[in-house]
Structure 1
């Protein structure tokens, strides 16, 4: 009788193992990018004051979609912040091509109910008056309305999140395209330090300092966009280093602690990690900058004249048509 019970128990354990293995295999299959990204959300921001961003699932061809990366200056303990950097990334998992386009923070945009202002102010004023998520929603809508690019996923981090992410991959080798003097450092001990041109190994704190600087740069905001691009490439290279590939699922699972806001699930991030693990950011990530004319114009939110960038619409439309649709 005892042997019979053990036999039944053994069969039961075997069944559990088989079911678990099947579930894992199924989950892994579902996480494969060609399966996971058959449909993606489309972020639609409503114009009504009390509603949040809604999402509708949309079928996609060849596993292509658009992500909006938002870098906020929100500090620890705060619930509001300015959109300090905005980067649209067009992901083509079929061709393994990635196109990134920076939207300058001083770009002149229209905010419903307020008028014309800088892009960087949209998130701040909406968060201050309506709530944290409403600010993110408004920033997404402003970028999508400006460029005509539908946004499927969004990921927002702040400088503390960027620092933590960089440290999580063990620091990065970053190509610094020009000398960077830290005139507006986050940490007092780094004030007026110079990060020299060339490939530098930087920890999270110094990456944060470098991508924050713009006042000392010859090209101002456009120079900072170059630095942000090089930081992203450095982080991608570090995360995809063969020595770190085995840790990629673990890294992806810890990413939520670096995020301020996102509509990506852990499964989305894991699948995207599987998709890019054999990619070469130096050759497969193409970076584009928008050009425009800087003007002193009236800001309907701040109620004064300030510097704003009027984007060259013809150039932007051409760029979007070629690489973001």
Structure 2
């Protein structure tokens, strides 16, 4: 009995000697666990909010009421292009018809942003300039995309660079002249905006976003992805020493640029070149989102932004676009070109008769109604 009492006393004495914090060890772990739980909940809420903000169906909804450009009044032509007996040419699903020049609506003529709508669809102009560096540039490639996030569809139209359009403050000239006109007035960004306004006036649509690159940007971006997988529809001879063979192959940035620029060896010339440019853009978007690229998608997008000369897209916009394009197939893209005919007419910038692609305005109206309205 005495030994038991002695052991009990020793245990009590030992307990009294323990640091004050020791009995609270279990409570401390409870507090730490509660803190981690709250952190996980907060992180989950943040990630959920981020996912919702990048969801294309909601991310781009505000663009409908915040167009960068809307169609402005276009002055009537003082003189028509020199007469031509050629029938309208170029691919079209509709019979050729003639009509007056597209007249902007009163709301568009007021140049005020359209009211916000429930739609998340928007229009973006894609521009490729014909330079390698800082020199003044013309627009070598012009494509306009109507992006429909809710339907996961994209309609794309190529505008030939020689298309005769009205450029504000200049008059009727080639659409690829619009960029250099703006550059001469206010530098690179003004060149972009002047061209985007000419596109808006020509198609009679608002433009919400734009993206512009040059030759070097194309090469660098394609090479950053390790090349571009393409199915080339025919042999394309660039020089006597360089031919891009028909069939499936991986092209580096230089050969992608060769393919995007070549028109002389294609059966339908510039229209064939426009189709190849569209196929390159579609293939690049699809390849960017392959599983092997997804872990470094943010890095690739940063590289892409470095190769872009000018864009209105924010980084979050590019991530949302990547989300949209993931899983889209060739049938989700609709592609058309501008029908018209070859003509010659006076150019106020050149001061002489020049070659134009004279667009069939009835077909332009049809394209606007079918591809840019829902």
Structure 1 residues 149 and 45: CA distance shift in structure 2, 3 A: closer
Shift of residue 18 of structure 1?
5.1
Q: CA RMSD in A?
A: 2.7
1:24 to 33, 47, 54: 47
Where does structure 1 lack aligned partners over 5 or more consecutive residues? 48-53, 184-190
- Alignment partner, residue 272 of structure 1: 321
Structure having the higher Rg: 2
> 3-state SS of the aligned residue for 1:255?
helix
Alignment coverage as a number of residue pairs:
310
The structural deviation recorded for 1:46 is 10
- Note if contact 1:45-1:138 (Cα within 8 Å) is conserved in structure 2: no
TM-superposed CA distance for 1:175, in Å, is: 2.4
Q: TM-score, normalised by structure 1?
A: 0.86
Report if the CA contact (8 A) 2:286-2:325 is conserved. no
SS of the counterpart of 1:85? strand
* Cross-structure match for 1:289: 337
Q: Does 1:171 align with 2:227?
A: yes
Map of 1:59 onto structure 2: 116
Residue aligning to 1:196: 245
2:289 is the counterpart of 1:240: yes
Answer yes or no: is 1:34 the counterpart of 2:83. Answer: no
CA shift digits 1:110-134 (9 cap, x unpaired):
2222222111111012202332211
Structure 2 unaligned runs (5+)?
Answer: 1-19, 73-110
Deviates more, 1:244-253 or 1:22-31: 244-253
8 A Cα contact 1:39 1:57, kept in partner: no
- Tell me how far apart the structure 1 counterparts of residues 113 and 317 of structure 2 sit (CA, whole Å): 16
Q: Relative CO higher for 1 or 2, CA cutoff 8 Å, sep ≥ 6?
A: 2
The superposition leaves residues 262-315 of structure 1 with CA deviations (integer Å, 9 ceiling, x where unpaired) of: 1110011111111221211x2111111111111121111111221111101111
Alpha-carbon deviations, 1:43-83, whole Å to 9, x = none?
Answer: 12798xxxxxx99585343421111111112322x153111
Whole-angstrom CA distance in 1 between matches of 2:56 and 2:219: 28
Give SS of 2:313's match: coil
Higher mean C-alpha deviation, range 67-76 or range 8-17: 8-17
